[in-house]
Structure formats: C-alpha cells, structure tokens
Structure 1
Amino acid sequence: MVQTDSDSISPPVPSSFAAFRAAVTAQAPALDPGRPGLRVLLVLGLLAAVAGGIYAWRSSPTPEPLAAPPPISGSAAPPAAVVSPTPTSSVLVHVTGKVRKPGVYTLPGGSRVADAVEAAGGARTDTATASVNLARRLVDGEQIVVGAPGSVSQGGTVAAPPGSDLLDLNTATPDQLEQLPGVGEVLAARIAEFRATHGGFRSVDQLQEVTGIGERKYADLKDKVRV
C-alpha cells in the first residue's frame, strides 16, 4: 500500500481522545433534545434573561436629592423690611385763665387737660384747677380756661357761672358744656371742635350741625344756650 503525503503529515490521534470521541458519537442521538425540547430551552432562556434584566433594574441605585448647602459662616441675613412708625397726631389747644404762661400749645394726641395746664406753667393757685376736669382728653382747637368763675358741685363737676341763665356756646369750656342736659364728655368735645373749625357759632341753630345732636336733643338745648 502506497502512503500518501497527507497520511505522513497528519499527527497520530491519542488513544484517550479517540475513546472520548467514540463515546460522544455513540451518545449523540440521546443528547439531541429534538424540536419540542429545543423550544422549552429557548423559553427558559428567555425567562432567565427577563428575570435578570428586572433584577438588574431594581438593583440600580436611586439618585437622592442633594440637601441645601448650609449658610456660609459670617454671612449676614438679608435685612427685614423696616416699618416706619406712623407720625403721632397732635392737638392744638389754647390755655388761658389762672396759669403762669397762657398761650397756644401743641401737645401729642391723647393728652389730657392736666398736660395742657402743665405745658402752660401750671396753675397759679392750688384751687384754680377745681374748675376743670384734669383727666379729660384734649380736643384739637379747644380753649381751656383755668380758674373760670363757677362753683364745684358735690359730684366734682363745674356748674354754670352764677348770674347767667344761658350758656354761651362760644365761650363755654367743654366742662361747662357737659352741664347741659344730655351732653356728655364726647358730645361736649364735638361742640368745642365744631366751634374751633367753624370760627365759632353764629346762631344757636348751628347746634343741629354737630354730630350727635338730633331734633329731640336740640329741642332740649336751644333754650339753655346762647351765642
């Protein structure tokens, strides 16, 4: 038998490998899964790939929002809005009578008669202030007569000057106006304010223009006052 070149070139096959190849060849039909088995293997592989993808997605880290950086030490906070105080209202009053410095004085709103008397240097005698209510609030434009003729009743209020039946609307003090029927501190202050803003009363009928004096109250007052 003539030996070819290919036979001389091919290396000899080890006996162990030849035995392994023979065993595989003999078991090849048993290892073939067939078409149904191949389909099952493909489905199982697909499910494994999907499960692996879901697991990888759930295992991915979730980004957390960054916290706001702390303020830099030493930095000043923005200044708060400064609300300017509202200007204090004031009242202008004329203090006359038995005081050391009669005149016109400007006092803060809400001041009392006692503040006006003190601004005018105080009363000249201890009994002069008996004719005024020192605790009454001042009304802008009013006149305060300290030591005005009149007597103090038991209740501490000032009676009308003796010898006069009618009260002069243009010269009466707020304390004297309070002696009129139905006139209290508030209404007396309104009468004094009306007198100051209108340059005095020209007639008794003008009392009806004062806020708080209706037809019935005017009927009670018209015969007790004059101008």
Structure 2
Amino acid sequence: MSSPGGGRAGGRGASGRWAAGRWAGWALSPRAAVVLAAVVVVAAVVVVLLGSRSGVSGADADRGGGALTVTGAPSAGGGSGGAGAGAGAGGAAAPGHAGPSVSPSVGVVVVHVVGAVERPGVVSLGAGSRVSVAIERAGGATGEADLARLNLARVLDDGERLYVPRVGETDIPETLDGSSGGPGVPTGAPGAAGDAVIDLNAADQAALETLPGIGPGLAARILAWRDEHGRFTAVEDLLDVSGIGDGRFADLRDRVRV
C-alpha cells in the first residue's frame, strides 16, 4: 500500500507531464514562425497606410469645407466692407458736391499768341518752353511773318502775349486791356512797351505830345507844317519843322512813320 506522500508525488508528476505534452502540441516550427512574423508585418504596414490616407483625406476635407464656407456665405466683415464701398461711391458721385478749387497745374505756362501765325489764340505749354514752341503750337508762322525780329530762343512767361510781326510792319498793335505788348513784342522794335509808333499824317495834337521832347508848342508846329504841305512824305521832313534839330530827330526817328 502506497504512502500518502508517494501518491501526491506521483500525481504532481503526472500533471507536469500532461502540461508539457500540451505545450509541446502548441509549439511552432521555425518555418511557421517566419510566416507568422511576415503576416504580422504586412498587416501592420496595411494599417499604417490606411491610417495615413485617412488623415490626408480628412485634412483635405477640412480645407475644402473652409473654402466652401468663405465662398458660399459672405462674412459679416465683407458685407460691411461692401456697404462702406457703396457709401463711398455714392458720396463721390453725389451731384451738387462742391470740391476744392483746382489751382493751375504746376509746370505749365499759358501764352496768348497773336499776329502772323496760322491759328492765333491761347496755348498751354510746358514750363521753360521757348518762343519757337509757342509759334509752332499756334499752327506755325505764316509766309509774311518776320521771325528775324523775334528772339525764338527766349523762355516764355506764364500769362504773356506773344505778337509775331509781319514783314515791313512797324506799328505793333497794343492789347485792348491797355497793357503793353508784353514780352512777346520784339525788344527794341517799334511798338515795344512804352514805344508806340506814331503816324505823322494821322496823329493829332495829343498823340504828338506823347513823343519824346514834343510839347504842346512843338506839336502845334508839326500840325501846321502838315497842313501847309499837305502831308509828310518821309520822317526826315520833321527836320523842316522849326524847333526840331538833329538831336531831337534822332530821338524821334524810330517813334514815327508816314
């Protein structure tokens, strides 16, 4: 008859053998282990790829959704901006709105060109323009213009009157407003400012008294000589008038004509 201790030892031994046999049935061969490892790796790669594509799609969906929100529905800021723009446009186009007075453009001179030009009138030129440019802008000089009496290289002043004389013309018309001919009148030529030419055969007492050195008495003697001889045929006839000598005649020669 076996002892209780021996029975317990025999039972544990049988149990151990049963467990070892069971795990031995689950053990994998090396080839099976390699195959299993490969399957696990492939599954992991598939999971990673699917997760990556899902993330990209989600990001694209988020961006697309944001774009649709902005495009499809105007924001409050955009609406207020449009209203502001509309109000600004309406204010700018409102009739009867008096804006600030516009001053003359800087760098522009306005000149009145008259005389022997094709299109007399007012022309606007750039600052620093010369007489030749003003004549060209007025259509150019006519065939009878005496350009040799003008300084074509002179720089023009704003607001001046430029008179282009004709060949043989000595009586330069004055401006109707009573001002002098201005810088446009040839310097030193008859008819320049303060140097009007007087017709001896048409002048009256008052006109003759505007000549240098001619007072009421001498003007009366000039008129008497004209009445006696009919008319002056040359300016040198003044030397026949009592009281006019060579010196005074020299002062009068460029101031009179017949």
TM-score, normalised with respect to structure 2: 0.27
TM-score, normalised with respect to structure 1: 0.31
Q: More helix by proportion, 1 or 2?
A: 2
